[in-house]
Structure 1
Amino acid sequence: MNELAFTSWTESTWVGFDTETTGVNPNEDLLVTASLVLLAEGVKGDLSQVETANWLADPGVEIPEVAAQVHGISTEQARAEGRPLGEVCGEVAERIVDLWRSGAILVGFNLAYDIRILEHSLEVCGLTSLEERAGGYGPMVDPLVWDRKLEPYRRGRRNLETLCGVYEVSLDDRFHQADVDALATLGVLAAMVALYPSVRTLGREELTDYTAAAHQAWAEQFNRYLASQGRDANVEEYWP
């Protein structure tokens, strides 16, 4: 890997971002946990040497049992150990803004979901959005979106656990915990950067637009397929 030519963004600080929530609808559900995992030197960084920040929020609503079974946080635990949702979301948003200003790259698996969860939670709490705080979103990468673009004909599922296998990322198997998923996502991105020269040539300012365009192309194609099958073609084409 050290023999490959990298550009500045690939060796910048990468920040894995993941959330666990009250449900799967980012326009209705709320944040329960959030993690930011900082990997210095990006693709050349050491995944065993990361800085992790974790938050637990009391969302102020019941956490459905089906959600609690996924991430392990019950309503009772969130109320007893979590901090008010507004405090947590405000801190997470400010930390992300600070990291963008320092030159970091935000990385997440299905990142648009986590961004929207954060934005919705901020809105519910009457707080300024992440986008407004930052004066526009900073550089972001979603390895799921990139994998769809770079390997469009690979069969099978594309969840995080599957892609860890595809890209030979050996990490903790406790998936659906925000810090574990964020770290695994960083490992997948590092493997992709080493494997695909096309993404290594991107400039920092191109990352978000590249990811958004890749998602839109995939979503448009998938919606056409759904329509051809007589199914609802309702996949969101905008990213994030």
Structure 2
Amino acid sequence: MEIVDVPLFDLPAEPEAPPKPKAAPVVVLQPALFETAEVLLSPLPSWAERLAVFDLETTGIDVETSRVVTANVSRLDASGVVTRRRDWLADPGVEIPLQATAVHGVATARARAEGRPAAEVVGEIVDELRTALEDGYALVIYNAPYDLTLLAREAVRHGVAPLVGPFPVIDPLVIDKQVDRYRKGKRTLEVTASVYGVDLTDAHDAGADAIAAGRVAQALGLRHGTELALTAAELHTAQIAWHDAQCDSFEDYMRTTRDPSFTARRGWPEVPAPATAPAPATAAAAPAR
């Protein structure tokens, strides 16, 4: 039975939406930060006022075997301004596939020469995230199950105490698919940032992606203020149900059109650990991301 993640695009497209009323007047929010972002006039939800953001670039797409190469954890204020930033380059201890290097630009030679031991990097990332959550920040991660699950497996692999039940998590991918379900096309961060007018000029750089994801979350909160007028805790809980429904939809489509035995990989914001432990630190790298 095939088990895969829900992709970053909608399959199938939802039925056509009913005609929308004429749009309300729009305003440009913080041009220096959001570039051309036009958002419906609405108060910023409380959960979006102080955000921690997180992104990984890795050796592959399999969360069970892939390794951290670069990472970023930053903090944003209510205007999307970065108030704290930490970046990491790790030596993952394995070859970085050429396909992964083509995505994020880090080759094996550079990681070995300039990167720090993976165990140290993973430990510092976990500590930084834990501190941000303890300080009262909501944690924004675009496609959270990928980054959080991979980080958890790396933590176990390197003997680091993992995050346990990270909360609250804000996933702009899940939210965007819920509030704008009729929009066709891909839902990658680069595409979604463009939809919400958020500048992302260096896609697949961990820092650029993390910060853009946070600003997309804020833009979502402004554009869909009525639907997202929740506390961070309420939004976290809502996303669990939204993600599960999105898995149902994708699974139904795949079983109808391609594979009757297809099963979508579930779990938000993190995929449950498998029965077996993560591969040891000397295992081969996963396929390229």
* Structure 1 length-normalised TM: 0.90
2:172 to 140, 143, 160: 143
**Are 1:112 and 2:149 counterparts?**
no
1:81 to 88, 93, 114: 114
CA 1:154 to 1:172, structure 2 compared with 1: closer, same or farther past 3 Å?
closer
* Structure 2 partner of 1:237: 266
SS, match of residue 264 in structure 2? coil
* Structure 1 partner of 2:32: none
CA 1:6 to 1:165, structure 2 compared with 1: closer, same or farther past 3 Å?
closer
* Structure 2 partner of 1:189: 217
Alignment of 1:111-190 (within 5 A): 111-131=144-164, 136-169=165-198, 171-190=199-218
Matched residues in 2 for 1:184 and 1:32: separation? 19
* Structure 2 partner of 1:205: 233
**Greater gyration radius:** 2
Matched residues in 2 for 1:46 and 1:94: separation? 23
Matched residues in 1 for 2:258 and 2:245: separation? 20
Q: Is the 1:16–1:36 contact (alpha carbons within 8 Å) kept by the matching residues of 2? A: yes
Q: Is the 1:10–1:200 contact (alpha carbons within 8 Å) kept by the matching residues of 2? A: no
**Are 1:218 and 2:246 counterparts?**
yes
1:57 to 90, 112, 120: 90
Matched residues in 2 for 1:4 and 1:103: separation? 23
Q: Is the 2:47–2:232 contact (alpha carbons within 8 Å) kept by the matching residues of 1? A: yes
Q: Is the 2:119–2:158 contact (alpha carbons within 8 Å) kept by the matching residues of 1? A: yes
Q: Is the 2:55–2:72 contact (alpha carbons within 8 Å) kept by the matching residues of 1? A: yes
User: What displacement does 1:46 show?
Assistant: 3.7
SS, match of residue 198 in structure 1? coil
Which protein has greater RCO, CA pairs closer than 8 Å, 6+ apart?
Answer: 2
User: What is the RMSD computed on CA atoms of the aligned residues?
Assistant: 1.7
Matched residues in 2 for 1:172 and 1:221: separation? 29
Matched residues in 1 for 2:249 and 2:225: separation? 25
* Structure 2 partner of 1:4: 42
SS, match of residue 123 in structure 2? helix
Q: Is the 1:15–1:37 contact (alpha carbons within 8 Å) kept by the matching residues of 2? A: yes
Q: Is the 1:32–1:56 contact (alpha carbons within 8 Å) kept by the matching residues of 2? A: yes
Matched residues in 2 for 1:125 and 1:239: separation? 23
Q: Is the 1:62–1:75 contact (alpha carbons within 8 Å) kept by the matching residues of 2? A: yes
Between the aligned residues of both structures, percent identity stands at 35
1:14 to 51, 72, 75: 51
Q: How many residues align?
A: 230
Matched residues in 2 for 1:63 and 1:130: separation? 26
User: What displacement does 1:144 show?
Assistant: 0.7
Matched residues in 2 for 1:108 and 1:70: separation? 19
Could you list the per-position Cα deviations for residues 30-76 of structure 1 after superposition, in whole angstroms to 9, with x for gaps in the alignment? 111110121023xxx244x4422101111111111110111011111
